[in-house]
Amino acid sequence: MDVSAFAKLFDHSIVRPNASRAEVAQFAETAVRLGTATLTVQPHYIRFAAEQVRGSGVLVGTVVGFPHGNETPSMKLYQAKEVLDLGAEEIDMVMNIPALKNREAEVFIRDIEGVVRAAEGKTVKVITENWYLTEQEKELACEWIVQAGAHFVKTSTAYADGGATLEDVRLMYRVVKGRCRVKAAGGIREIGEVLEYLQAGARRFGSTRTDYLARAFQDLPREKRALFAEYGPGPLRSSHASGAA
């Protein structure tokens, strides 16, 4: 794996509520220079981000139902349509946490299905926000998210008290069984941790530290870089391709 393939594992993300236009432009420059999978921004900055990355191959990502996920399915559907009209090319949405805890399967699945349908084949990642969940709830959430047709399950928003953990990624990878992929976000700070998370099953990362991690990867000895080779980003399945198992 070379550094360009390594960078494609990352959504270079600036979704802080107080991010300025100048900061978004700085993140865009890094995303374009590295060739990350996406530059992920708050909806307010979608059009600006699209201008900054145009022609680079870096996609514009954004968030729906962020950071709590408690909106109704129709509210998230409206948000999804709006951000797509603005130019978003990938969506990270927060699942309906109360619907999960109350075992409201129909509402939970419809909430995600609406965004997946609106996205018309564009990648949808569903944030489970594992800090708030029991192990059983994490398993159930992943199963329902797969049933709803999403492309990724994602560990966290980085707004709760806890971010990604290796144990959670292993659990999510085990439950989804290849029917969708796992994204790790929140608290992954060193290159050795990236490899550990890849080995645990993660195939995409949300990070504000992508530049640092890419430099750290490039500085590794050849034999250490070779350990990453089998984890390069591959094609995603098409939406609903795997369905419910």
Q: Which domain holds residue 223?
A: 3-230
Q: Is 236 inside a domain boundary?
A: no
Q: Locate tokens 């990938």: which residue? A: 90
Residue 238 confidence (pLDDT): 38
Assigned token pair, 217: 């990867």
pLDDT band of residue 232 (cuts 50, 70, 90) is confident
pLDDT per position as a tens digit, 60-114: 999 999 999 999 999 999 999 999 999 999 999 999 999 999 999 999 999 999 9
Q: Is 241 inside a domain boundary?
A: no
Q: Is 168 inside a domain boundary?
A: yes
Q: Is 242 inside a domain boundary?
A: no
Residue 175 confidence (pLDDT): 98
Q: What is the CATH number of the domain that holds 57?
A: 3.20.20.70
Q: Is 177 a catalytic residue?
A: no
Rounded to an integer, what distance in angstroms lies between the CA atom of residue 172 and that of residue 167? Answer: 9
Q: Is 73 inside a domain boundary?
A: yes
Q: Is 31 inside a domain boundary?
A: yes
Q: Locate tokens 């145009």: which residue? A: 54
Q: Is 245 inside a domain boundary?
A: no
Q: Is 95 inside a domain boundary?
A: yes
- 8, 11, 76, 92: the active-site residue: 92
Q: Is 183 a catalytic residue?
A: yes
- The total number of structural domains that make up the chain: 1
Q: Kindly report the backbone phi and psi dihedral angles of residue 12, in degrees, each rounded to the nearest multiple of 5, phi listed first.
A: -80, 115
- 76, 111, 154, 168: the active-site residue: 154
Q: Is 92 a catalytic residue?
A: yes
pLDDT per position as a tens digit, 219-231: 999 999 999 999 9
